[in-house]
Amino acid sequence: MGEIKQSIKPEEARLGAPESFGVSTLEPGLRPPTQSPGRQVCIRVQMLDDTQEVFQISQRSPGKVLFDLVCAHLNLTEGDYFGLEYQDHRKMMVWLDLLKPTLKQIRRPKNTILRFVVKFFPPDHTQLMEELTRYLFALQIKRDLACGHLICNDTSAALMVSHIIQSEIGDFDETQSWQHLLHNKYLPDQDAIRDKITDCHRKLVGQTPAESDYQLLEIARRLEMYGVRLHPAKDREGTKLSLSVAHTGVLVFQGYTKINAFNWSKIRKLSFKRRRFLIKLRPDPTNAHHDTLEFAMSSRDCCKVFWKICVEYHAFFRLFEEPKPKPKPILFTRGSSFRFSGRTQKQIIDYVRDSELKKVPFERKHSKILSSSSMTPQSSSFRLQVPASEDSPLGSPHVVVNGNGSVNDLGMGSTGGLGPEGRQLSPLTSPLLTEAGYVRNDDEDEARRKKFPTDKAYFIAKELLTTERTYLKDLQVSFQSAVGKDEAFPDSVKNLISANYDPVYKFHQGFLKEVEQRLAQWSGRSNAHIKGDYQRIGDVLLKNIQGLRQLTVHLQKHSECLVELETSRKVETLCREFEQQRVCYLPFNIFLLRPLHRLLHYKLILERLCKHYPPTHDDFRDCRAALADISEMVLQLQGTMMKMENFQKLLELKKDLTGIDNLVIPGREFIRLGCLSKLSGKGLQQRMFFLFSDSLIYTSRGMTPLNQFKVHGQLPLYGMTIRESEEEWGVPHSFTLFGQRQSVVVAASCAPEMERWVEDIRMAIDLAEQSSSPNTDLLSTSPSDNKLIEDGGAEQESEEELCGSRSSLERQGQRGNTTVHVCWHRNTSVSMVDFSVAVENQLSGNLLRKFKNSNGWQKLWVVFTNFSLFFYKSHQDDYPLASLPLLGYSVTVPLESENIHKDYVFKLHFKSHVYYFRSESEYTFERWMEVIRSATCSASRSLPSTRKDLY
């Protein structure tokens, strides 16, 4: 058939490679179809339970062969409700045509993943005869809820999620249910209604998974957006609308509100001419309007795709049997020969009702409940075995990915904890952490604490150890794993990075071993005989910093590595692919700056030691000498470091923005990004602003596969003036920007935010006036086009606002969780100064954590970087379990009324989200408070002298 026209989600993009444990059958109830002879090709299919299977088909096989293989694998009798969709060569999502050869439709089978999903949504779920079919529909509803497709009110959302949870973990238990909601994401912003969900779950005691599926579908089918897939269009007046098709006919939406419906009985003909979609209605004497309705779509392909979907929906729900093929014309063809292929709904219902089918048990992948449909241990080994071949890039017939196709699932191995669809957590939700972390006993904790030295110098040295472990892991992940082992990287890139990073990595391996040995001796846990005073760290630092000075030549060339990674489209693509892996928990090129930023950490640690020690202390002389050496290195490399930071930030922003041609040019400096409201004819609209040294651009969050921000306009800074205009417009915290071509009125979320923006814009205007370089137009369109973009974008923006609470930050893995997206959702801003301060405030170490309403404390390895906390089970883990972006949070100490009767506890809170963390000493408590404040309070309000030269 055709396609469902929608944004391509990252669910089709990336793969992991463990064994599959998804929906499976006990015995082969359906026989695989007979295939024609010829070379076999492997095709990957992602199932509704987020597993992947690889099927082998003949080169000449039609799509129906592959589809039947999938249904046979699942033992699915009512398979005609489903379809296989994929991204074609036009980057559009289309349905696999069952009549055409598969390989004529899928041009690159090695790189294509087909998704097995629901295609036809019946009006009544009681028409689904098999429990397996209802379970698969329930998985589809679960997916549509999680990705924000199924828009509904909070009450309906809470009810549906409660039924999903009941089917997965069973009857309500206060602790288990609360924890399950914390580690699993069923709605883009479910924390806001978490209490509603638990209240609903409490009432479902005794309900089986099958009954939960039934109730879930009962609620979903009554929603206006049930089964709706929107296809953008415009009416004759140019008003932005969306078309959809359902069992009743063709629907028209404005935003997420249905404004019209054309029943099949009233439609005489559906057709398309180029990019115009035409609905010809039957004559109606009571209606004086035109009998032909016309809608404009973005292209002829989009028109044809939607027309095909309409043809299939009409045939499936309205015809008694499959339509017969048209006779082939003798001389020439006119129009499309496309037709619906498969059984109609009536044929399916009649077949299941008249057949005495044996009910085959199946496994509910996400459910911990043993039901009549669960697999038994001895039967779980059954598979429709498909031999692997070299055609499969992973060399395995069974591949598991999480729900968004990413290997960025936040699960905790065998302990469970996978979020639904494995989505990366939103900055607005809790970090995904489960009971798999070690919950400490308080007595045990106190006994352990007494074993440690109480000297502050020990904890300063321990900070060196913990951050060095994280730093070495970052080097290993980014350069050995990403570049060194990937044969796809050009040799020139690998050789340059290897030459400059391998010596640094090997040096720090030895350094870490020495620090670990010294700390073990210092804390008295070493079996070695103590033959000297090991309660110091200055000698180790001095020796290694002197060794590090020999590597200065390599550190100076790291900027060349950053430039080299951006020289070719292929390398850029490889880096983006690596960013989707869970080990790459930050934008990839940030790791390139790690060796330079590490020098700043050594300097800060040595400054603290020198400040702590009296001049007569044995360790003071070594620390002071080491501080002098590292200070000289930092001064020598500072210019390189600042240029690289700015260059890296421009490269990162280039990936976050669409509609810009030439963001990264010599001389342009990034200054601030964040949210402001722009005043227009339709009132205040949220916009994301980006301030550079020569221009200010404003954007809105787009609906692209990468969640990029769409540029609406550009304001050159040369000749701009700024005036506070709160009284003039009656809008709090507003100011007006007067440019040479246009003026705009914007408002900040609070007075401090306005002050930061006004100060930075004025500084940028001064820089633009002093600059001798001409203004460069950032946009890929002309000024007049920019105005059209802004005016035309208002309708789309209003649609986004309607579903704002259901929007997902996780559609494309890491890129949906960057600082830009966090600022958008937290309505705040960040400056380049804040970024520079943040790199000097990285921290790692063990913390104990508890939620607001939980009892025990959970031990976690926590890494603070890039304005976020990243949570691990231990420092040896390769990737984080979850992250918590801190912009917008507040950090305080608990009140007496909160009954946290422990030492060294700090509290993080944002709206209703509250977390408590315990550190092991007064020093570590102060350090965590210090670095978190640098991220939550935008502590840097003015440009330090060392940073002013950057602009």
Structure tokens that stand for 846 in this block: 């063990």
Confidence of residue 670 (pLDDT cuts 50, 70, 90): very high
In terms of Cα–Cα distance, which of 225, 253, 227, 229 is closest to 239? 253
Residues counted in the chain: 951
Does residue 673 share a domain with residue 627?
A: no
More confidently predicted of 618 and 524:
618
Q: What are phi and psi of 20, to 5 degrees?
A: -85, 140
Distance CA 605, CA 843 (A): 11
Four-CA torsion 889, 891, 897, 901, nearest 10 degrees: 130
Confidence of residue 947 (pLDDT cuts 50, 70, 90): very low
Residue 464 pLDDT > 90:
yes
Distance CA 620, CA 537 (A): 10
**What is the residue-wise DSSP string for 358-390?**
PPPPB--TT-----TTSPPGGGTT--------T
Does residue 577 share a domain with residue 672?
A: no
| pLDDT digit string, tens, across residues 137-148 | 999 999 999 998
Does residue 758 share a domain with residue 624?
A: no
Q: Is 300 inside any structural domain?
A: yes
Confidence of residue 4 (pLDDT cuts 50, 70, 90): very low
| pLDDT digit string, tens, across residues 223-242 | 999 999 999 999 888 889 99
Confidence of residue 696 (pLDDT cuts 50, 70, 90): very high
What is the total count of domains within the chain?
Answer: 4
| pLDDT digit string, tens, across residues 483-521 | 655 566 677 777 777 777 888 889 999 999 999 999 988
Q: Is 623 inside any structural domain?
A: yes
Q: Is 27 inside any structural domain?
A: no
Does residue 714 share a domain with residue 565?
A: no
| Amino acid 863: pLDDT | 94
Which residues 6+ apart lie within 8 Å of 858 measured at CB? 433, 435, 437, 438, 439, 440, 848, 849, 850
Does residue 623 share a domain with residue 745?
A: no
Does residue 627 share a domain with residue 558?
A: yes
Residue 940 pLDDT > 60:
no
Domain boundary among 625, 656, 687: 656
Confidence of residue 779 (pLDDT cuts 50, 70, 90): low
| Amino acid 285: pLDDT | 63
Q: Is 734 inside any structural domain?
A: yes
Provide the residue range defining the domain that includes 307.
231-323+339-350
Structure tokens that stand for 701 in this block: 């969050």
Confidence of residue 398 (pLDDT cuts 50, 70, 90): very low
List the CATH number of the domain containing 681: 2.30.29.30
Does residue 569 share a domain with residue 539?
A: yes
| Maximum mean pLDDT: which of 137-146, 285-294, 496-505, 852-861 | 137-146
Does residue 706 share a domain with residue 676?
A: yes
**Taking the CB of residue 534, how many other CB atoms lie within 10 A of it?**
19
Does residue 751 share a domain with residue 735?
A: yes
**What is the residue-wise DSSP string for 864-902?**
EETTEEEEESSTT-SS-SEEEE-TT-EEEPPPGGGT---
Can you tell me the mean pLDDT for 381-402?
Answer: 30
Q: Is 543 inside any structural domain?
A: yes
Q: Is 61 inside any structural domain?
A: no
| Amino acid 335: pLDDT | 56
| pLDDT digit string, tens, across residues 149-208 | 999 999 999 999 999 999 999 999 888 888 899 888 999 988 889 999 999 999 999 899
CA 445 to chain centre: 36
Residue 817 pLDDT > 70:
no
Distance CA 577, CA 406 (A): 10
Lowest mean per-residue pLDDT among 118-127, 325-334, 899-908: 325-334
Domain boundary among 748, 771, 794: 771
| Amino acid 429: pLDDT | 37
Does residue 689 share a domain with residue 621?
A: no
| Amino acid 47: pLDDT | 94
Which residues 6+ apart lie within 8 Å of 626 measured at CB? 538, 541, 542, 545, 602, 606
Distance CA 581, CA 573 (A): 13
Question: Position of tokens 């980006």?
Answer: 690
Does residue 494 share a domain with residue 575?
A: yes
Domain boundary among 744, 771, 798: 771
Structure tokens that stand for 505 in this block: 């990595």
Distance CA 195, CA 943 (A): 44
Residue 278 pLDDT > 80:
yes
In terms of Cα–Cα distance, which of 234, 233, 224, 230 is closest to 245? 230
In terms of Cα–Cα distance, which of 269, 297, 234 is closest to 92? 297
Q: Is 59 inside any structural domain?
A: no
| Amino acid 167: pLDDT | 92
Q: Is 118 inside any structural domain?
A: no
- % of the chain residues with pLDDT over 70: 74
Distance CA 933, CA 951 (A): 25
| Angle between helix 819-826 and 620-656 (nearest 10) | 80
Does residue 647 share a domain with residue 715?
A: no
